[in-house]
Amino acid sequence: MLYTDWVLIERGFDPNQLHARETVFTIGNGYLGTRGSFEEGYPRAMPVTLIQGVYDAVPVMYTELVNCPDWLPLTITLNGDPRRSERFSLDQGEVLSYERRLDLRYGLLRRSIRWRSPSGKTLDIQFERFASLADPHVLGLRCLITPIDWEGAIAVHASINGYAENQGFNHWDLLTQDQTETNFTEDLQLEPAIWLAARTRQSQIELGMAAKLIIQGVAATFQRESAPGYPTLTTSYQAAIGQTVLVEKIVTVYTSQDIEYPLKAAQSKLVTLPSYPECWEQHKQAWKSAWHTSDVIVEGDIRAQLAIRYSMFQLLISAPWHHQQASIPAKTLSGFGYRGHIFWDTEIFILPLFTFTQPELARRLLTYRYHTLEGARRKARSYGYKGAMYAWESADTGDEVTPRWALPSDPYASDIRIWCRDREIHISADIAYAIWNYWQATGDDLWMRDYGAEIILDTAVFWMSRVEWNSQFERYELREVIGADEYHEHHVNNNAFTNRMTQWHLEKAIAVYAWLEHTFPEQAAALAQKLEITPERRQRWQDIANHLWVPYHSETGFIEQFEGFCNLEDINLQDYEPRTKSMQTILGIDGANKRQVLKQPDVLMLLYLMRQLQEFPYNPESLKTNWDYYAPRTDITYGSSLGPAIHAILAADLGDSQTAYKHFLQAALVDLENTRGNTAEGIHGACAGGAWQAIVFGFAGIRFQDNQPIATPHLPPHWTRLAFKLHWRGKWHPFEITHSASEMNSYHPSPSPEMDEASPTINLRGAIFDLDGVLTDTAEYHYRAWQRLADEEELPFDRQANEALRGISRRESLLKIVGDRTYSAAQLEEMMERKNRYYQEFIESMSPSDLLPGVRSLLTELRQQQIKIAIASASKNARTVIEKLNITELVDAIADGYSVERPKPAPDLFLYAANQLKLPPAACVVFEDATAGIEAALAAGMWSVGLGPVERVGNAHVVLPNFADITWAGILSKLNQHLS
């Protein structure tokens, strides 16, 4: 994978990464998410489109987000005769080039392929797709088709696939589709369109989807096909060599959660839609607004820059922009992992990004918990408690949907009971914590009055009924819980995390009630009646808050994770390195349960949460003490993916930016580099949110003091700049952090003018030039050397004959020249040496005038722009030539025939050059005139500019005839066009 500051690039297709990359290239618009599956399909592909809030029942797991009818299918067949037709597919024929790129700035997924069919027809195909952020019901898909070396019939089939499934399970009953006479809008009969309506089997949610096909640049016919559940629209045309035809598939979708008649709505929308370019333009504007407030700029670390934007992008497209009663599932809308259920991940890990950059979305995320209060109350009642006890896993109703069992396929193995539903009760306090922080950050009193207060108070009622009084120690306790750390699930009593969060929750519930009573006495009275909050009960809350035991050692600041934790068998995780599995897998469930090994931060999680509020038990000393004890005992690599971001923030807080950076990357790259091997199941939403927090709360060290956010930066050493802005109490606070500044202890926001103008440029810092044919043309000198040899041997030769030698080795060139004439091997050897000698003599006579037109001014401009310059030539005479051309002082590095062993198209020479420049490949652009050279640049993961005809260098990102009148700005502009 290549990273630019805005674009994620996949060069080459690896079937082994199929499912993981489908996840990584997910696009969406907050209404739905669609995995990056191929339009034309692929064996074992897992195309998924998940719509916010569309849940349906499923065995064991209770309910799950439903995979919706697939809007992607667009297949291409060559040659009209169905008996001999070939269908474009990456598992057939030959893939000559492949590139997939996700432009985060506009949520555009583009794929460019040059493909040769089994019968030898070559084709350029480019797909692009977007899910409109401006109109959530509009999906755009484009395909550009160019036959390279053949002509004939092409058919493009655009379908809606009604057989989408959730890992084998089909939730849909087909209701109607275009083949039937019923339920269509008359207008749709007038242009080629297809549609489909379906209904989920249990939840009875109806979905309507419609699609039309537009073809440009050619005369075409249209035909509909009627396979049940798979309506297809086919357009056929005669393709000409080199002629590019544009096909647009525009799709509309509604569900009965949006509107009463979703199919009619989809049909009407399709008919009244503006053109594809207009839809695209509206969509772009929507994204500009989104990034305007949410963007984070990192300079000096292109990977971190891309990773943080990627994380934000994946969360932005999963947020309920258009839904009033939905939240962000743990695996976002990008895969089947955790069945679309909602965990504490949202409130604790993901929410801050929204609270501080998209507060409207943060409010919706929290309002979801208000709409699911009844489910939380049902759960409390079913366990014999009062008030609201939130589900560990929550879906549409808020009822508990954590599976009760993990079922083994072995019929004799025991089923594994999943205890989180019963014991991981801290979720209710986590939600209260998130609400409190949202309120503090936004001052959204009306929301607090109408929604937040009821949640905080009714969960406090729950805690009141859940605690136990220990008469012996005269304290309240919480027994048989699971804390944040899930390796310990049996006989966990008085977990510090849970007890302190509960205590904090009750304190804040008292405060919220007092505030409400003071500010909105009517609402306070109504809530008190509804929730039966008597003064006596509030007194009880206070009593519990005062006497709920937190196992904190006040002398040392050490906190025992739970009662008796330190009596468990100790463990040295280093003894198990290197490993590729979680400690629970290695030790077994019971083995981990009885040792001092943590799946994720627990005491440290508590310290992190209280750090944000600067409340007990957080203080720097306590942090240090507990970090030293718990961090080495935490399975941060293969335990929970929730861990690394929290460790990153705390490590930064402790001033260890190296450790902080390591953990930040663990969170930020978890899906981009599939470090845990489970990216196929969906995006790790909590890692994405945690990565943002690691930057803002860790590296920038943001705290809220004196009624404003204040930074105490701990930037990684190689970061040259960090910029973002935060919304706090009605105002935007921009931050601009560099190392010079970060030497200060802490500092206040400063304006960052560039933020709003951040352009989606490639961040190029080096230019690598081939020599021969690019900077100069030594072909002339080769010709002269051959001519001299031919004349001496009285062989016929001239400029025209010389043309036949292009790209041919020295030996083969000689054999062409001698023709029928007979020579001994020794004679031929001597002649080759002689020719080379003449060549070397000629280049001795080279001068600056041998620089090709435009080269010197370009090199000068690069130098001014502080772009580093290298020359990479396979020639062993390169240094001589460079000297003669008098450009030595413009060049930072030279890679020549002595530098590496493997010739182009191996990437070695360019990688060597980049290394000399101390630049990553993605920061370099290569200028080449040969096919093999372009291939080498692509293989190196570099940008490429081809000089010469498209037939020779068409695979390059940008093709130029030569350097005449070319500027660096012009090249950058062309490369950026390639991105957008």
* Residues lying near a second copy in the complex (CB under 8 A): 41, 43-44, 57, 59-60, 62, 73, 82-87, 118, 157, 159, 161, 163, 165, 168-171, 173, 179-181, 189, 201, 224-230, 232, 378-379, 382, 399-401, 404-405, 407, 409, 411-412, 415
Q: What is the secondary structure of 682-737 as a DSSP string? A: ---HHHHHHHHHIIIIIIS--EEETTEEEB-----TT--EEEEEEEETTEEEEEEE
The residue (of 172 and 513) whose beta carbon lies closer to a second copy is 172
Instruction: Kindly calculate the radius of gyration of the chain based on its CA atoms and give it in whole angstroms.
Output: 32
Closest CA to 929 of 852, 844, 826: 852
CB of 7 to a second copy, least distance (A): 32
Binding-site positions read 770-772, 786, 805-810, 813, 835, 873-877, 904, 928-929
Q: Is the dihedral of CA 168, 172, 173, 175 positive or negative?
A: negative
Closest CA to 774 of 624, 658, 927: 927
CB of 866 to a second copy, least distance (A): 53
DSSP label at 166?
Answer: B
Catalytic residue flag (residue 770): yes
Query: At 370, phi and psi to the nearest 5?
Result: -70, -45
User: Would you mind telling me the total number of residues written for the chain in this entry?
Assistant: 980
The rounded distance, in Å, linking the Cα atoms of 904 and 940 is: 11
The rounded distance, in Å, linking the Cα atoms of 69 and 72 is: 9
Dig out the tokens for 979 from the structure. 């991105």
Residues sharing a CB contact under 8 Å with residue 314, sequence separation 6 or more, in sequence order? 26, 332, 334, 671, 683, 685, 688
The residue (of 400 and 770) whose beta carbon lies closer to a second copy is 400
Catalytic residue among 772, 850, 896, 908: 772
CB of 382 to a second copy, least distance (A): 4
Binding-site positions for substrate read 770-772, 786, 805-810, 813, 835, 873-877, 904
The rounded distance, in Å, linking the Cα atoms of 510 and 8 is: 48
The rounded distance, in Å, linking the Cα atoms of 973 and 666 is: 34
Catalytic residue among 124, 770, 850, 896: 770
| Strand ranges inside 441-565, DSSP E | 468-470, 475-477
Closest CA to 135 of 39, 36, 251: 251
Q: What angle is formed at CA 640 by the lines to CA 636 and CA 644, rounded to 5 degrees?
A: 45
The rounded distance, in Å, linking the Cα atoms of 381 and 396 is: 19
The rounded distance, in Å, linking the Cα atoms of 135 and 283 is: 8
Report the chain's terminal Cα–Cα distance, integer Å: 18
158: left (phi over 0), alpha (psi -120 to 50) or beta: beta
The rounded distance, in Å, linking the Cα atoms of 801 and 806 is: 10
Catalytic residue flag (residue 653): no
Residues sharing a CB contact under 8 Å with residue 945, sequence separation 6 or more, in sequence order? 925, 926, 927, 928, 956, 957, 958, 959, 960, 971, 975
CB of 745 to a second copy, least distance (A): 52
CB of 418 to a second copy, least distance (A): 12
Dig out the tokens for 214 from the structure. 């537009």
Q: Are 857 and 890 in contact (CB under 8 A)?
A: no
Dig out the tokens for 450 from the structure. 């109408």
User: Omega into 716 within 30° of 0, i.e. cis?
Assistant: no
The rounded distance, in Å, linking the Cα atoms of 877 and 888 is: 14
Q: Are 152 and 238 in contact (CB under 8 A)?
A: yes
Residue with tokens 């502009």: 973
Query: At 766, phi and psi to the nearest 5?
Result: -150, 150
Residues sharing a CB contact under 8 Å with residue 757, sequence separation 6 or more, in sequence order? none
Binding-site positions for Mg(2+) read 770, 772, 928-929
Dig out the tokens for 124 from the structure. 């350029």
User: Omega into 751 within 30° of 0, i.e. cis?
Assistant: no
The residue (of 168 and 796) whose beta carbon lies closer to a second copy is 168
The rounded distance, in Å, linking the Cα atoms of 252 and 195 is: 9
The rounded distance, in Å, linking the Cα atoms of 71 and 81 is: 27
Q: What is the secondary structure of 930-952 as a DSSP string? A: SHHHHHHHHHTT-EEEEES-HHH
The residue (of 59 and 578) whose beta carbon lies closer to a second copy is 59
Residues sharing a CB contact under 8 Å with residue 62, sequence separation 6 or more, in sequence order? 395, 399, 401, 403
CB of 43 to a second copy, least distance (A): 8
Q: Are 100 and 110 in contact (CB under 8 A)?
A: yes
The residue (of 70 and 736) whose beta carbon lies closer to a second copy is 70
The total of other beta-carbon atoms located within 10 Å of residue 954's CB is: 16
Dig out the tokens for 205 from the structure. 């949610």
Which residues are identified as catalytic? 770, 772
